[in-house]
Amino acid sequence: MKYLPIFTDLSGHWALLVGGNEDSARKLRLLLRTEARIRVVSAAPNDEISALAESGRIELLRRGFEDRDLDGVRLAIVGDAEALEIKDVAHRIRSTGIPTNVVDRPELSTFIIPGIVDRDPIVIAIGSEGAAPVMVRRIREKIESLLPVRLGVLARFAQSFRGAVSAAVPEGAGRRLFWERFFDGPVAQDVLEGREKPAREAMLRLVNGGAQSAPSGSVALVGAGPGDPDLLTLKALRLMQDADVIVHDALIGPTMLDYVRRDSLRIDVGKRAGRQSWSQDAINALLAEHAEAGRRVVRLKGGDPFIFGRGGEELAYLKARGIAVEVVPGVTAALGAASVAGLPLTHRDHANRLTILTGHDRNGLSDFDHHLLADPKGTLVIYMGLGAAPRIMADALAAGRAASTPVVVIAKATLPEQRVLKAQLGGLARLVEEQKVEAPALIVIGDVAALADGEIFEAADAGHRRLAV
């Protein structure tokens, strides 16, 4: 490690900025977020820097750099050296021992300015020793997306109770456990969501009477989307990384568990054809068992918990037992599949209604409403329909839907191995059979299916053929 990451206290100290161009202004904006006194030296400052000087927020010396500008300075940044040689300016500053950064010139600098994620007083710095600034920016963006906006507010909230906690909770493991429970619990969640008044009242109760009480568990029913982890919501990702227990089904993406806490307990309760599966009653009991033991449980479901995910059954079961439960929606498979296929599920010229059905229910193959199957202005999206494809086709034809109605089968949507196969309704059953389509897959029936990007599977008198487009 060439550079030692450190945080420098600039409160009340002078920081020097040499330069007045846009690069210098960007560094000035960063310095203004500190409590430093700021001195800028520039013979030609831009409008932003001039306006800051006129407002009194900085000291501006409208000339070239002079050695006396370093009086009382704790840190210096060189954005542009204007008429002077930048190497000369950097050498003169460095020779005094003052930490010096020259913008985009690490070889002239004694320190570099990292990528910064600011949740004051929580600050995260990311550096690459100047080797990959674009990568640093990408990493910063990812971290920014993961951290709650009010994280700094939570830190200051906790700081305001440090004295009270120290007085009420003995030093050592007990105090550490108290703070872990606080940051992982509902009081911290209230602060993060802007409910500070009830959070303070709850914190006082926790400190004064509940410091030794057993932690309360919770369950989050989280939609993992159709498979691509990039489609997770920020809240889903945060809960996954906080969870003590992950109870997941078989339809989550293959890399989804890479995003959960390393030390979390992971329980696969997925239902797979031909294998012994967990019953829904057993899954309900499992969720309650871990929550009642004080653990944070995430029930991770493919798609959305409330779209053929049995989330409603689990929610009712947990609520009936007084267990804290929340639901985090996910990108349901219909929307994810439509996006990868370039398929609008509604369209002013083709479909003004959308119906989502399931090919299987608790009694086996579903019974379909013939009015829905026959609706020429409606789009049908059928989940879990591969095994029922022959019956779906037959029922739709019997209901009066034309054999030439466009259909599309989208398998493993949003994953690298996704397949989008287009056909006509009269060839649906054969498509599924001959192409050996594997679950998870959706069947879309309606005129909008013709708009999908994918492979065409056509019926002909001599049989069937597949044409790549």
pLDDT (average), residues 439-464: 78
Query: Any catalytic annotation for residue 249?
Result: yes
Chain centroid, CA 173 distance in Å: 33
pLDDT at 327: 96
pLDDT at 466: 42
* CATH architecture, range 334-467: 2-Layer Sandwich (3.30)
pLDDT at 319: 96
pLDDT at 171: 82
pLDDT tens sequence across 58-69: 999 999 999 999
CATH of domain 14-113: 3.40.50.720
- Highest mean pLDDT: which range of 174-178, 214-218, 341-345: 341-345
Q: Is the pLDDT of residue 428 over 90?
A: yes
The Cβ of residue 415 has, within 10 Å, a number of other Cβ atoms equal to 17
Q: Give the distance between the most distant pair of CA atoms in the chain.
A: 92
The Cβ of residue 427 has, within 10 Å, a number of other Cβ atoms equal to 20
Burial class (CB in 10 A: 0-12, 13-18, 19+), 63: exposed
Three-point CA angle 396, 402, 405, nearest 5°: 90
pLDDT (average), residues 175-196: 86
Q: Which of 118, 184, 242, 271 is catalytic?
A: 271
pLDDT (average), residues 110-114: 92
pLDDT tens sequence across 140-173: 998 998 889 999 999 999 999 999 999 988 887 6
Q: Which amino acid is at 20?
A: G
pLDDT at 467: 38
Q: Which of 249, 304, 375, 395 is catalytic?
A: 249
Rounded CA-CA distance 249/247 in Å is 7
User: Residues 253-273, buried b or exposed e (16+ Cβ, 10 A)?
Assistant: beebbeebbeebeebebeeee
Asked whether the bond before 121 is cis by omega within 30 degrees of 0, the reply is yes
Tokens standing for residue 149: 């906006």
Rounded CA-CA distance 30/155 in Å is 21
Rounded CA-CA distance 447/424 in Å is 10
Q: Is the pLDDT of residue 273 over 70?
A: no
Residue 191 phi, psi (nearest 5) = -65, -45
* CATH architecture, range 218-331: 3-Layer(aba) Sandwich (3.40)
Q: Is the pLDDT of residue 274 over 60?
A: no
* Percentage of the chain modeled with pLDDT above 70: 93
Query: Any catalytic annotation for residue 349?
Result: no
Closest CA to 65 of 96, 36, 22: 96
Mean pLDDT of the chain: 88
Top-confidence residue, 352 or 40: 40
